[in-house]
Amino acid sequence: MVGQRIALLGIGRHDIIGTPGNLRARRGTGSSTHADGALRRALLHGATVSSLVRHGKQMAIVADDGRVLVVHLGMSGRLVTADNRDREVPPHTHARWSIGSARELRFTDPRRFGALVPCAGDTELQSHWAGLGPDAMDISAEQLGHALASRRTPVKVALLDQQTVAGLGNIYVDETLHRAGIHPLMRSTRASTYAEAIWTSMRGILEAAIAAGGSTLRDYVDGSGNPGAYATLHRVYGRSGKQCHQCGTHIRSMVVGGRTTAFCPGCQGRVRPAL
């Protein structure tokens, strides 16, 4: 997409468009023609893409004239490029752009937890992302330790909080804690003393997952529409009742901070910082 000119082909639903800093404040469906012109501009109509950036689980398309469009995939969102001769537009496609003369960009989201958030420029983008902690691929072990030390919640909850570290979701937190040998209910302050082990596990898992093309859980596909292969590498997530590959104990699940949490009582029952 970088270097290509994009043009908005259509918006299916206006309620997927959020405002910076507030994803809940969605625009209504009844937009006036005048607002449509401004909206098309905000959605990068006629822009030349200068870069694609990401912070945590959010990404942004940056235009060379300064316009920025943040893309949240939410639970089921997809941002996929397709050949524009492919007339089979998938259901729940809420926005479409042409890319150059031969390709198309499509944002689909059946459950609509995702959003497109236009920002006027980099300053607005940075303030939209101000609530996010350091990115999981940039944070140092020391920074992670400091962030965990200041949380009074279980370590599982602290790692899911995007203010602690941006980019970890439920799957990767469970996998990280298993590999680090840390029980999900350990107090975050105490877990901070094992920050080095947690950081090493997290980085190893994210690098392997990225190399495998992501975890296909229900709906995920990459930008070309292909499912990821990392799910087959999961050691605890989705394996409740099965034997731990590492120690043979049955994987258990419980709810922590409202999220289903899988862990191995054998590997994570005791405090064991070694990998």
Interface residues with Zn ion (CB under 5 A) are 244, 246-247, 249, 264, 266-267
Residue 228 DSSP SS3? coil
H helices within 2-69, ranges in order? 33-42
Query: Minimum distance between the CB of residue 150 and Zn ion, rounded to whole angstroms?
Result: 30
Cβ-Cβ contacts under 8 Å for 238 (sequence gap 6 or more): 217, 231, 262
Return the number of the residue (96 or 239) whose C-beta is nearest Zn ion. 239
DSSP 249: P
Query: Minimum distance between the CB of residue 182 and Zn ion, rounded to whole angstroms?
Result: 12
Query: Minimum distance between the CB of residue 223 and Zn ion, rounded to whole angstroms?
Result: 35
Residue with tokens 């300064």: 66
Residue 175 DSSP SS3? helix
Residue with tokens 């960009």: 105
Residue whose C-beta lies closest to Zn ion: 244
Query: Minimum distance between the CB of residue 155 and Zn ion, rounded to whole angstroms?
Result: 17
Considering only CA atoms, which of 133, 130, 167, 137 is closest in space to residue 147? 133
H helices within the chain, ranges in order? 33-42, 122-128, 141-149, 155-160, 170-180, 188-191, 195-211, 265-268
Return the number of the residue (48 or 246) whose C-beta is nearest Zn ion. 246
Return the number of the residue (158 or 236) whose C-beta is nearest Zn ion. 236
Return the number of the residue (134 or 181) whose C-beta is nearest Zn ion. 181
Query: Minimum distance between the CB of residue 201 and Zn ion, rounded to whole angstroms?
Result: 14
Return the number of the residue (98 or 249) whose C-beta is nearest Zn ion. 249
